[in-house]
Amino acid sequence: MVEKGRISLKKVKYFVLDEADRMLDTGFEPDIRKLEDLGLPPKDDRCTSMFSATFPTEVQQLAKHFLRKDYVFLAVGTPGGANEDITQCIEEIPQGQKKDRLFQLLEQNLKSERCLIFVETKRSADYIGSLLSQKNFRSTTMHGDRTQQQRHQAVQDFTSGNCPILVATSVAARGLDFPLIGYVVNYDLPDSSDFYIHRIGRTGRAGHLGKSISFFDPGRDSDRKIAPDLLARLIEAGQEVPEFLKAFDNSGNAGQEVPEFLKAFDNSGNVGFYNDGQSSRNTDVRDGHSHFVNRNKAAGPSGGTASAGAANEDWD
């Protein structure tokens, strides 16, 4: 529309990128730069805002091209860290035992709450969804092979509680705000700690408490590679570190307590600035925690599996 001259960008005052790290790091940067050639006002003449739960250093360097020299970096808690309202649990579960453990969890304490289950492949999403249907758990699935109509139906069914269980690939890890998810289950762990943070961030939102349960398969190469990062995330958030995970750590983090500089982010409610030498400012803003007593309940009968999908197959 812009290239055809049907929309003009010359009067844009506010330029906003959500999930900015993903936008800048997966091939969209040239397209965003092209907007400047198509009439987007210079960065000094507009207000540019970028949002994401994770913002790696290398992506911050890319972002500086679009920001004023005196930009403000605003962090809630530890930058790139997990939400402290989420209780993280990592269990050592070999691949062949995952199904039994998942059903055990659902039978014990997940059946009455809205639950989001992450898997790595589209085939796995359909397979687990089918198994849940056979076990009379009402569920829906989301991945890159689903049509737009199926995707919207899944979102509606999951949000309303008609299907209180959603099985999805990482397409559901970003950009979707599902209310009152009680649990996130990483049936398959992602291959990066950033995706881990985004996945578990689907729960514990807007002051509610949440819980994530991740299945760590010691026979899976990607699980072993992500182990040191998982360990660091647990330590940062003050979570219990399972003994088995320490065996995969080669960084010396296993015996460490939370560093002093990270403790400054914990429940302080203070706002502080520092200069990074690039004329930017960094601030940490944390409101008081307002935990609700009642957990996040999801209603809905059991039985049957619906299917839906997402628009961006590259994220699957």
Is the same domain home to 92 and 55?
A: no
Residue span of the structural domain in which 35 resides: 14-68
Is the same domain home to 246 and 125?
A: yes
Given 40, 68, 96, the domain boundary residue is 68
Is the same domain home to 49 and 197?
A: no
Q: What is the mean pLDDT of the chain?
A: 78
- For the beta carbon of residue 115, count every other beta carbon within 10 angstroms: 28
CATH of the domain at 302: 3.40.50.300
Is the same domain home to 243 and 129?
A: yes
Evaluate whether residue 137 is within a structural domain: yes
Evaluate whether residue 122 is within a structural domain: yes
Higher pLDDT, 184 or 293: 184
Evaluate whether residue 79 is within a structural domain: no
Is the same domain home to 104 and 173?
A: yes
Is the same domain home to 49 and 114?
A: no
Between 29-38, 125-134, 248-257, 266-275, the lowest mean confidence (pLDDT) is in 266-275
Confidence band, pLDDT 50/70/90 cuts, at residue 111: low
Q: Report how far residue 84's alpha carbon sits from residue 210's, in angstroms, rounded to the nearest whole number.
A: 9
Is the same domain home to 21 and 141?
A: no
Give the Cα-Cα-Cα angle 53, 59, 63 (nearest 5 degrees): 95
Evaluate whether residue 169 is within a structural domain: yes
Confidence band, pLDDT 50/70/90 cuts, at residue 75: confident
Q: For residue range 219-272, what is the model confidence (pLDDT) as tens digits?
A: 999 999 999 999 998 998 889 999 999 888 765 554 444 444 444 444 433 333
Is the same domain home to 99 and 61?
A: no
Is the same domain home to 180 and 51?
A: no
Higher pLDDT, 25 or 119: 119
Q: How many domains does the chain have?
A: 2
Tokens at 10, concatenated: 């010359």
Q: Report how far residue 93's alpha carbon sits from residue 114's, in angstroms, rounded to the nearest whole number.
A: 23
pLDDT at 287 over 80: no
Evaluate whether residue 114 is within a structural domain: yes
Q: For residue range 37-74, what is the model confidence (pLDDT) as tens digits?
A: 999 999 999 999 998 877 878 888 888 999 999 999 88
Is the same domain home to 26 and 150?
A: no
Is the same domain home to 251 and 169?
A: yes
Is the same domain home to 57 and 116?
A: no
Evaluate whether residue 7 is within a structural domain: no
Confidence band, pLDDT 50/70/90 cuts, at residue 91: very high
Q: Using alpha carbons, select from 187, 191, 52 the residue that is nearest to residue 125.
A: 187
Percent of the chain with pLDDT over 70: 75
